[in-house]
Structure 1
Amino acid sequence: MSYSVNKLAPELVAAAESTPSGRLPLSSLDRTAVVRLIVDLILVFEQGVQPAKAIRAALSRALVAYYPVAGRIVEPLPGETEVDCTGDGVWFVQASLDCGLEDVNNLEHPLLLPRKDLIPYAPPDVIEGDLIFMMQVTEFTCSGFALGIRFNHTVFDGLGAAQFLKAVAEIARGHARPVVHPVWSRDAIPGPPKLSPGLPLPSFEAFNLENSVFDIPSDHIDAVKNQFWRETGQKCSTFDVVTATAWQCRTRAICFDAHVDVHLGFAANTRHLLRGLLPQEGYYGNCVYPMGIKAKAGTIAGSSPVEVIELIRDAKERMSTKFLDWMMGDAEADPDKVPLEYGTLVVLDWSRVGFSEVNYGWGEPTHVAPLNDDHNFVPSCIYLQPSKPKQGVRLLTRCVQKEHLPAFTEETMNFVHN
């Protein structure tokens, strides 16, 4: 059965009061090439009372404190990206669908609706890459609604975007202003040495990657943590367990030759390393540093989970020193570059950034899911919270081609059911 969406024309929502103008610098972490992208995301809520009206009004008031978000990204000189605080506003779209959330499987993956129906787009004459944030509220006949957002990673990391969404939600629930005061402070982060100009861009090889979703229950994660503790006398994190599992299952499924190098890439949160430079809370810029691990395929496929976790933990420990060296100007400590090839897996942990805690007054979202599922340049795996009331981690994977999907599914399910 097909359903039709009724989308009103996008409108600009400006701050409810006058706000400062002028240009604000971005940090060296905001300006790295890996964050020059727009992230699409949906949050699904079971109920709401005129949510579009309530969220639009709260957005306007939140933009008073978060006035840079209503501005535009400019690049007066190559690589010198800034935010121009124009006060132009955020594009907002109100939409409705002639069905209930249950009719479309609560927008679980795979989506039963086109993603373009659920996320906002600016008018055709607007350059979307200059925008910082867009929002769409789609109301369903069951009183539920979906919040579709698009944020520019150049200005926010995941924690920062969630902080802004929570601020809008706090105002919608009746707060006069955001509970956590936003802080810009981009100039507090030191600028590492300029990379030499004129380097050729990497050539991208596209892969035909398949989407799949796996829920890993928390008791299975805890069992591996306990095994790690028994064998090493140390603790490991949920991230360590899930990353080792995904990397190992994928490597085994593809059956690389044992001597081939396989790579793992992940974005490490560096907020704890910047405590002396940034305030305790409120900073919403990028604090992510790309890390990479290289190992032989035979090592990853043939090792115990504990041994793979140790590789990941070693890289995380190395990151602290490497990041601080990079910040202090050591050109040798450049962020790791993982090759964009089929032997690489990039993992992103979105399970604890805060999107699942956004509450506009009618409860937290039943689930959150990114919608950037059309890229084919790097095999990836995103960690999310599973739909309530499940406990554990949901793996949203786009990391194997069709011929390897059955083996990857079998390897992953063997872990889940062991």
Structure 2
Amino acid sequence: MASLVTFKVRRSEAVLVPPAEPTPRELKPLSDLDDQRGLRFYRSGIHFYKNDPSREGTDPAEVVRAALARALVFYYPMAGRIREEAGGKLVVDCTGEGAMFMEADADVAIDDFGDVLAPPIPGHEMLLCEPEGAGGVVDRPLFYIQVTRLKCRGFTVSFQVNHCMADAAGVVQFMKAIGELARGAAAPAVPPVWARDLLAARRPTCVTRRHPEYEEVADPADDRISPADAQLVRHCLFFGPSEVAALRAGVPARMSRCSRFDMIAALVWKCRTEALQYERENEVRIQFVVNARGKRDPPLPAGFYGNAFAFAVASTAAGELCERPFEYALELVAKAKASVTAEYMQSVADYLVERGRPRFAVARTYLVSDITNAGFGDVDFGWGKGVYGGPPTANLATFHIRSKNAKGEEGILVPMCLPAPAMARFQQEIASNIAKMRTILDHEAIQAH
């Protein structure tokens, strides 16, 4: 099993890779969505690639390092450093100092990780180039990348990126650009666009919506799960064609247009809440990312790589969520998603400026992000598409990840992290709910004949 994999990694010294050509020296303000305090950290990703016999004798570390230097010419803010100005406003000082690069060798093969790669990737800490020095995001490299050669002649490419610089779509755009240049392109297919002013707060600000994503529930310390809990266990759910069909059978006709994300997120929220056994009157929430790309008129320009999302929030009493049918949770999720309009996005920026760029609330909240369409699996450095591309781990916040099961079926992977007793209840609740919906599906099939 992948969880039993142990291996050693021999790393070289990390080095700064500056842009391959001179770049502009200027200050570029981040947007009022970019510099909220909840995004002032480094988010990570990892890609696994199998050996390609046609690339025999080619060192992937050399290829990626050279392509990174060229990509930083186009994405030159990524080679700079963040500074904090008056009022906590963040700007990028485009110094051209560069991104941090590390190469390494590991005595492990891709197949040793098991049939299906999924978070948490065993030993991922050794496969990531970690930001050095004190915490925070000011005066540190904005991008860290590590290429690790494996004994099967495959390799991994992992990154850590300052979240203030890019969301999932933005960092994938940057990684794809590195891949295109590694494969011989003269320039990225999609030229990068800064345009952070398009997501700035109004002057004067005008908050027109309520933003519960930044408002704590009552008694936030009264939670049943904490990242400090050493007993947390991890499990990955897989929703393949049969599971999705079963969920669809539980959807009322009036909601027939709901998405796969809505269905899976609603079920997991409901079952997670049941498993954590909150008090009936406790407010519980689901909080998820809604992309602003496509929510604006005019839309954000192609090539925009900043943070372009808001958090949608649905909330209810734990007793209501657990005791009412699946469609109740589904309606709450769909309504929350529909509430994130272009005006909502603008109101978020105004709210953040008015309130000093607060962190988003997390107590009694299931946080989930759909990265199935971000394109992590499409990054190609010349060895073809990877066998896995996505987050190396998932803790209290989780993801919907495009994946395949051991049978080769396409589906959605949802990593989950819970205290051990709650995890056992959670898995039982998921199985019970899906079995109940499969009964509906079977009944409909019988009726059709």
1:172-225 deviation digits (Å, cap 9, x = unpaired): 122111000100011122314399xxx999987844233221111133224433
Letter in 2 for 1:276: P
Greater displacement, 68-77 / 42-51: 42-51
Which of 373, 377, 381 lines up with 2:398 in the alignment?
Answer: 381
Q: Show the 5 A alignment for 1:183-222.
A: 183-192=193-202, 193=205, 206-207=226-227, 208=229, 209-222=232-245
Deviation at 1:79, TM superposition (A): 1.9
Is 2:417 the counterpart of 1:408? no
The answer to whether the 8 A contact 2:81-2:141 is kept is yes
Deviation at 1:393, TM superposition (A): 0.6
* Cα distance between partner residues in 2 of 1:272 and 1:117: 38
Match of 1:286 in 2: 307
1:137-167 deviation digits (Å, cap 9, x = unpaired): 1011111111111011101001000000011
1:296-318 deviation digits (Å, cap 9, x = unpaired): 11222123322321111111112
Match of 1:170 in 2: 180
Match of 2:387 in 1: 366
- DSSP 3-state at the match of 1:371: coil
* Cα distance between partner residues in 2 of 1:201 and 1:93: 40
- DSSP 3-state at the match of 1:403: helix
Which of 34, 40, 47 lines up with 2:38 in the alignment?
Answer: 34
Deviation at 1:322, TM superposition (A): 5.3
Which of 395, 409, 414 lines up with 2:414 in the alignment?
Answer: 395
The answer to whether the 8 A contact 1:105-1:112 is kept is no
Is 2:144 the counterpart of 1:134? yes
* Cα distance between partner residues in 1 of 2:259 and 2:429: 21
Is 2:317 the counterpart of 1:296? yes
- DSSP 3-state at the match of 2:46: strand
Greater displacement, 105-114 / 382-391: 105-114
Is 2:76 the counterpart of 1:67? yes
Is 2:332 the counterpart of 1:311? yes
Greater displacement, 146-155 / 123-132: 123-132
**1:222/1:122 Cα in 2 relative to 1: closer, same or farther (>3 Å)?**
same
1:368-387 deviation digits (Å, cap 9, x = unpaired): 342354x6xxx332211124
* Cα distance between partner residues in 2 of 1:403 and 1:87: 50
Deviation at 1:89, TM superposition (A): 0.7
- DSSP 3-state at the match of 1:39: strand
* Cα distance between partner residues in 2 of 1:65 and 1:238: 36
Which of 270, 283, 289 lines up with 1:248 in the alignment?
Answer: 270
Query: Which runs of 5 or more residues in structure 1 are unaligned?
Result: none
Deviation at 1:410, TM superposition (A): 1.6
Q: Show the 5 A alignment for 1:135-150.
A: 135-150=145-160
**1:275/1:10 Cα in 2 relative to 1: closer, same or farther (>3 Å)?**
farther
**1:340/1:3 Cα in 2 relative to 1: closer, same or farther (>3 Å)?**
closer
Greater displacement, 163-172 / 269-278: 269-278
Q: CA RMSD in A?
A: 3.1
Deviation at 1:249, TM superposition (A): 1.1
Greater displacement, 70-79 / 362-371: 362-371
Letter in 2 for 1:411: E
Letter in 2 for 1:136: Q
The answer to whether the 8 A contact 2:293-2:299 is kept is no
* Cα distance between partner residues in 2 of 1:72 and 1:327: 26
**1:257/1:322 Cα in 2 relative to 1: closer, same or farther (>3 Å)?**
farther
1:96-137 deviation digits (Å, cap 9, x = unpaired): 112322234378356574332100135558976532111001
**1:46/1:128 Cα in 2 relative to 1: closer, same or farther (>3 Å)?**
farther
Letter in 1 for 2:37: A
**1:126/1:32 Cα in 2 relative to 1: closer, same or farther (>3 Å)?**
closer
Percentage of matched positions with identical amino acids: 28
Letter in 2 for 1:386: S
* Cα distance between partner residues in 2 of 1:90 and 1:298: 49
* Cα distance between partner residues in 2 of 1:180 and 1:332: 31
Greater displacement, 97-106 / 233-242: 97-106
* Cα distance between partner residues in 1 of 2:353 and 2:41: 26
- DSSP 3-state at the match of 1:291: strand
Is 2:114 the counterpart of 1:116? no
Letter in 2 for 1:353: A
The answer to whether the 8 A contact 2:37-2:359 is kept is no
* Cα distance between partner residues in 1 of 2:234 and 2:94: 39
Match of 2:7 in 1: 3
Greater displacement, 249-258 / 358-367: 249-258
Greater displacement, 165-174 / 210-219: 210-219
Deviation at 1:330, TM superposition (A): 7.4
Which of 374, 377, 389 lines up with 1:356 in the alignment?
Answer: 377
- DSSP 3-state at the match of 1:385: strand
TM-score, length basis structure 2: 0.82
The answer to whether the 8 A contact 1:386-1:392 is kept is yes
* Cα distance between partner residues in 2 of 1:132 and 1:402: 36
Match of 1:276 in 2: 298
Letter in 1 for 2:293: R
* Cα distance between partner residues in 1 of 2:426 and 2:101: 40
TM-score, length basis structure 1: 0.87
Deviation at 1:4, TM superposition (A): 2.0
* Cα distance between partner residues in 2 of 1:52 and 1:184: 28
The answer to whether the 8 A contact 2:176-2:379 is kept is yes
* Cα distance between partner residues in 2 of 1:4 and 1:27: 41
- DSSP 3-state at the match of 2:295: helix
**1:25/1:110 Cα in 2 relative to 1: closer, same or farther (>3 Å)?**
closer
* Cα distance between partner residues in 2 of 1:304 and 1:126: 44
